[in-house]
A and B are shown apart, each in its own frame.
Chain A
Amino acid sequence: MHDMSQPAVQHGAPTSFMGKHIFSLDHKVIGKQYYALALVAAVIGMVLSWLMRLHLGWANLAIPGLHLLSPGGAPGNVMTPEYYLQLMTMHGTIMVFFVLTTAPFAAFGNFFLPIQTGAEDMPFPHFNMMSFWVTFVAFLVMVASFFVPDAPTLGGWTQYAPLSAVGAVAGPGQGMGVVLWAASIGIFCIGQLLGSLNFITTTLDMRCKGMSLMRLPLSAWAWFITAIMALTAFAVLMPACILLILDHVAGTSFFAPSGMVINDQVLPHSGGSTLLWQHLFWFFGHPEVYIAIIPGMGIVSHILVTNMRRPMLSHRVIIYSMGSLAVLSYMVYGHHMFVSGMNPISSLAFSFPTLVITIPSAIIVLIWLGSLYGSKLRINSASLFALGFISMFISGGVSGFFLAQPSLDIMLHATYFVVGHFHLVMAVAAMFGIFAGTYFWFPKMTGRMMNEGLGKAHFILSFIGAYCIFMPFHYLGIAGNVRRYQAFTDDYLIPLIPVHKFITVAAILTGFAQLIFVYNLIYSRFKGVSATDNPWQGTSLEWSTATPPPHNNFGDHMPVVYHDPYQYSVEGASADFIMQTSPEKISSPDEEK
């Protein structure tokens, strides 16, 4: 009945090496390319954080070889204050854009969204290929700024004006460094817009027979919602980057105010609005937090359901909550500007939705916990990292309550409290989502299983390490430890330096623990145990096709979907799971209409 004997190819399978592996139109290859890019970016970002941490613990430490990276920035291998800020800026930028956006959204989404929707590819494969290569060029431009005189920029990943808008006079990296930064991010925006176009259209138009929107797995919903956010957020950041570049290269005054005298030099700009940059940036910036975390929510939900062997308490409420997060994320961006001279009424207007946004977040967390309660969760690397994600999200989210209130935020905003908050709730949680997704989908992506023992060791060390690094940040912040300082010489800060040393040691050890993951990834790719088509006894469409999937995802026959995505432990069923493609009758009231 559901046999569709039609040739299931949209574009022929490539035969050349270039067509297969480099300029591929296949969404699966593009997904892997994004993953590889994110992995390289993560290693660079992590090494940068090590360098920063070493400097914070031991301010005059000579780090062997550092002068090779920047002779001017590290004379005698000792980091200058400006170079610390440059490394900090690049760490934040690379991690936020090239890891937290590309891995959970672009990498996994590219590989699995078409398969989970029952499509044979994205609808615009050439745009999809361009999306990756444009992003790759953006990454090259960003990394190139390490090796260009007067670069990289030191203005932080937020690039606040006027520091970012006035040129080289503002300090090392603020000339060509900012231009390269803005050009890279502008190019990155184009790549993500092309990708989002494909994600949205795939979800709306490419679903197979029987695949209603509510039958999509939670991971597919998360990528769909994220794509809508990326489309609207990156479309705003791109013009902001263009205006910033014009302030540099054309002498305009969009963001650079008048009357500035820097380093005894009178600047020619007039009338620019520094707050304008903040509005444009944070209109993108806060949704970006959810662009990084919502895919993780979907991935974790998908993994937990599979390992709990029962559906979430409510499939729909998780979807509605993720949608609410997306909408609210545009209404709260002003909370990043409480200390920027904002009208108190505006502060209130942004504070209220910031508190409200905790409601859908809390609902999702409660559904996770309620669903886990009493379940016989299968403990494996993927489910452990999924639990770790929840733990990090809760720990980081709780500190968000404090920061949502302007009166408290004014005290805490410029301290390490904020650093601890956003690293836990966004960065580490999203990384745990990436790890969970990797352990879960690696068999489908490569045809081989990852080593479970190494995976569990990786989890334990990462989980403990992450808390050792980021929990103390909260205490440092409450103690008044300002962030973005390259050294702590004030009397009240000196007693806190041992805490920084502890964090530095924890960061280096946790970083080395990631070598277990990298080794596992490479070893398993070539020597891992062969995976079956459905190693986790999953129900969604990715488990109904071959491992690894063929070029057109489903071979000669396109799938037909009969059920909701998570039919586990169905009463009267022949097994403890019913795949979406199985025409088996359901004898359960749980299937959502």
Chain B
Amino acid sequence: MATTVHEPAKIDLERLPNQGAGNGGWRNLAPAGGDLRRVKDSSPPPASTGIWVGLAAITMTFAAFTSALIVRQGSARDWQHFTLPSVLYLNTLVILFSSVTLEIGRRQVAAFMTGTAPSGAKARQTAPARWLYVTLALGLLFVAGQTFAWLQLRGQGLGLATNISYSFFYVLTVAHALHLFGGLGGMTRVIGKVNHSVLRRSTLNAASLYWHFMGALWLYLLLLLWMKL
């Protein structure tokens, strides 16, 4: 058997892109000195990967709910169609608008972190998180709107067990709202970190991605409910 002598793999001790956080890299990215500008690249890749893994799990959960809805609707003739509360469409606008305000806020925070905020925008520099507050408020408004829709249905005597179609309506909307609370928690955490100047870009990106996903998930659920109910 022929053998060849070859050198050990050459390894660059400098941190290379796409080489992974265990590359001795991510622990030196801890916030330094509490200065937001100095931690602009504090981007531990695990948060970026982890958020996608988390979203995959949530996708599987709602895929399971969806398949349950389709199978259950076809298994018996007791499915009742009903008109969705109109407040849901208003809520849709609210959550879509919250994605817009989040993007504005994200750009402002990023500009503040990199020190590239326009010179005339002093107010934005002193309160870089204000659009994030708006996003948070819109998120709470969305949850309030959903609660209003549930109360409206209940006021009409249409509860969780009235019919299987209502059961799925409540299950899907409540499950989405519970997941949205995760987004609200993430947004609150981001705002806290901005205010304490210790925000990592990956945290901001992960929280933003999660928020946008919640918006997209709601659009999907609304379409599903509109088609099936």
User: Assuming A280-B68, A571-B3, is B60 touching A270 (CB within 8 A)?
Assistant: no
Chain B 69-80, CB-CB to A under 8 Å as 1, else 0, gives: 001100111110
Q: A571 to B78: give the CA distance in the assembly, Å.
A: 73
**Interface SS of chain A:** loop
Q: Which of B6-14, B31-39, B188-196 is found at the contact surface with chain A?
A: B6-14
Residue among A7, A119, A205, A208 having the largest count of chain B Cβ atoms under 10 Å: A205
**Contact residues in B for A250 (Cβ distance below 8 Å):** 160-161, 167
Top-9 shortest CB links A-B = A271-B76, A123-B46, A235-B60, A273-B75, A271-B78, A251-B161, A206-B22, A562-B8, A236-B64
User: Assuming A207-B22, A271-B77, is B53 touching A243 (CB within 8 A)?
Assistant: no
Please tell me if A501 contacts chain B, counting CB pairs below 8 Å. no
Please tell me if B171 contacts chain A, counting CB pairs below 8 Å. yes
Q: Can you report 28 residue pairs joining A to B where beta carbons are below 8 Å apart?
A: A2-B11, A6-B27, A118-B22, A123-B21, A123-B47, A201-B46, A201-B50, A205-B45, A206-B20, A207-B23, A209-B24, A231-B56, A231-B60, A232-B57, A235-B64, A246-B160, A246-B167, A250-B160, A253-B164, A253-B167, A272-B72, A273-B72, A273-B76, A275-B71, A275-B75, A280-B64, A280-B68, A562-B9
- B: interface residue count bin: 35 or more
Cβ A589 vs Cβ B24 within 8 A: no
**Contact residues in B for A442 (Cβ distance below 8 Å):** none
**In residues 103-140 of chain B, which contact A (Cβ within 8 Å)?**
none
**What is the chain A residue whose CB lies nearest that of B75?**
A273
**What is the chain B residue whose CB lies nearest that of A200?**
B53
User: Assuming A270-B76, A272-B72, is B58 touching A205 (CB within 8 A)?
Assistant: no
Cβ B50 vs Cβ A124 within 8 A: yes
Chain A 141-176, CB-CB to B under 8 Å as 1, else 0, gives: 000000000000000000000000000000000000
Please tell me if B44 contacts chain A, counting CB pairs below 8 Å. yes
Q: A327 to B104: give the CA distance in the assembly, Å.
A: 41
Chain A 411-452, CB-CB to B under 8 Å as 1, else 0, gives: 000000000000000000000000000000000000000000
Per a CB cutoff under 8 Å, which of B27, B63, B67 touches A9? B27
Per a CB cutoff under 8 Å, which of B3, B58, B71 touches A279? B71
Q: A232 to B68: give the CA distance in the assembly, Å.
A: 16
Q: Which of A51-59, A511-519, A579-587 is found at the contact surface with chain B?
A: A579-587
**In residues 185-215 of chain B, which contact A (Cβ within 8 Å)?**
none
Minimum CB–CB distance for B131 against chain A, Å = 27
Cβ A210 vs Cβ B9 within 8 A: yes
Please tell me if A240 contacts chain B, counting CB pairs below 8 Å. yes
Q: A118 to B20: give the CA distance in the assembly, Å.
A: 11
- For chain A, the count of residues having a C-beta within 8 Å of the partner chain is 67
Cβ A231 vs Cβ B53 within 8 A: yes
- Which residues on A are within 8 Å of B, measured CB to CB? 1-2, 4, 6-10, 117-120, 123-124, 193, 196-197, 200-202, 204-211, 231-232, 235-236, 238-240, 242-243, 246, 250-254, 257-258, 270-273, 275-276, 279-280, 283, 558, 560, 562-563, 571-572, 583-589
**What is the chain B residue whose CB lies nearest that of A199?**
B53
**Contact residues in A for B8 (Cβ distance below 8 Å):** 562-563, 583-586
Cβ B67 vs Cβ A254 within 8 A: no
Residue among B13, B64, B72 having the largest count of chain A Cβ atoms under 10 Å: B64
Please tell me if B28 contacts chain A, counting CB pairs below 8 Å. yes
Please tell me if B54 contacts chain A, counting CB pairs below 8 Å. yes
Minimum CB–CB distance for B123 against chain A, Å = 35
**Contact residues in B for A196 (Cβ distance below 8 Å):** 53, 57
Cβ B23 vs Cβ A208 within 8 A: yes
Residue among A7, A119, A197 having the largest count of chain B Cβ atoms under 10 Å: A197
Please tell me if B65 contacts chain A, counting CB pairs below 8 Å. yes
Please tell me if B2 contacts chain A, counting CB pairs below 8 Å. yes
Minimum CB–CB distance for A298 against chain B, Å = 20
Q: A8 to B23: give the CA distance in the assembly, Å.
A: 12
Cβ B9 vs Cβ A242 within 8 A: no
Cβ B64 vs Cβ A585 within 8 A: no
Cβ B68 vs Cβ A239 within 8 A: yes
**Contact residues in A for B152 (Cβ distance below 8 Å):** none
Per a CB cutoff under 8 Å, which of B19, B24, B54 touches A6? B24
User: Assuming A231-B53, A587-B5, A589-B1, is B22 touching A240 (CB within 8 A)?
Assistant: no
Per a CB cutoff under 8 Å, which of A201, A206, A253, A587 touches B4? A587
Minimum CB–CB distance for B192 against chain A, Å = 16
Cβ B28 vs Cβ A6 within 8 A: yes
**Contact residues in B for A207 (Cβ distance below 8 Å):** 20, 22-23
Cβ B21 vs Cβ A236 within 8 A: no
Minimum CB–CB distance for B218 against chain A, Å = 17
Cβ A242 vs Cβ B171 within 8 A: yes
**Contact residues in B for A253 (Cβ distance below 8 Å):** 78, 161, 164, 167
**Contact residues in A for B6 (Cβ distance below 8 Å):** 585-586
**What is the chain B residue whose CB lies nearest that of A8?**
B27
Cβ A254 vs Cβ B24 within 8 A: no
**Contact residues in A for B1 (Cβ distance below 8 Å):** 589
Cβ B46 vs Cβ A206 within 8 A: yes
**Contact residues in B for A10 (Cβ distance below 8 Å):** 27
Q: A211 to B23: give the CA distance in the assembly, Å.
A: 9
Knowing that A231-B53, A231-B57 touch, tell me 20 more A-B residue pairs with CB under 8 angstroms.
Answer: A6-B27, A6-B28, A200-B49, A201-B53, A206-B22, A207-B20, A207-B22, A208-B24, A209-B22, A210-B9, A252-B160, A252-B167, A254-B68, A271-B72, A271-B75, A272-B72, A276-B71, A562-B11, A572-B3, A572-B5
Q: A77 to B38: give the CA distance in the assembly, Å.
A: 71
Q: A587 to B8: give the CA distance in the assembly, Å.
A: 10
Minimum CB–CB distance for B32 against chain A, Å = 13
Minimum CB–CB distance for B128 against chain A, Å = 26
**Contact residues in B for A251 (Cβ distance below 8 Å):** 160-161
Q: A201 to B47: give the CA distance in the assembly, Å.
A: 8
Q: A270 to B75: give the CA distance in the assembly, Å.
A: 11
Q: A211 to B22: give the CA distance in the assembly, Å.
A: 9
Q: A254 to B79: give the CA distance in the assembly, Å.
A: 12
Minimum CB–CB distance for A592 against chain B, Å = 12
Minimum CB–CB distance for B50 against chain A, Å = 5
Cβ A117 vs Cβ B22 within 8 A: yes
Minimum CB–CB distance for B166 against chain A, Å = 9
**What is the chain B residue whose CB lies nearest that of A117?**
B22
User: Assuming A193-B57, A273-B72, is B21 touching A205 (CB within 8 A)?
Assistant: yes
Cβ A252 vs Cβ B161 within 8 A: yes
Minimum CB–CB distance for A401 against chain B, Å = 30
Cβ A585 vs Cβ B5 within 8 A: yes
**Contact residues in B for A584 (Cβ distance below 8 Å):** 8
**What is the chain A residue whose CB lies nearest that of B48?**
A205
Per a CB cutoff under 8 Å, which of B58, B68, B160 touches A235? B58
**Contact residues in A for B60 (Cβ distance below 8 Å):** 231-232, 235-236
Per a CB cutoff under 8 Å, which of B3, B46, B61, B167 touches A239? B61
Q: A10 to B22: give the CA distance in the assembly, Å.
A: 11
Cβ A273 vs Cβ B23 within 8 A: no
**Contact residues in B for A283 (Cβ distance below 8 Å):** 64
Minimum CB–CB distance for A582 against chain B, Å = 8
**Contact residues in B for A117 (Cβ distance below 8 Å):** 22
**What is the chain A residue whose CB lies nearest that of B28?**
A6
**What is the chain B residue whose CB lies nearest that of A570?**
B3
**Contact residues in A for B171 (Cβ distance below 8 Å):** 242-243, 246
Cβ B68 vs Cβ A205 within 8 A: no
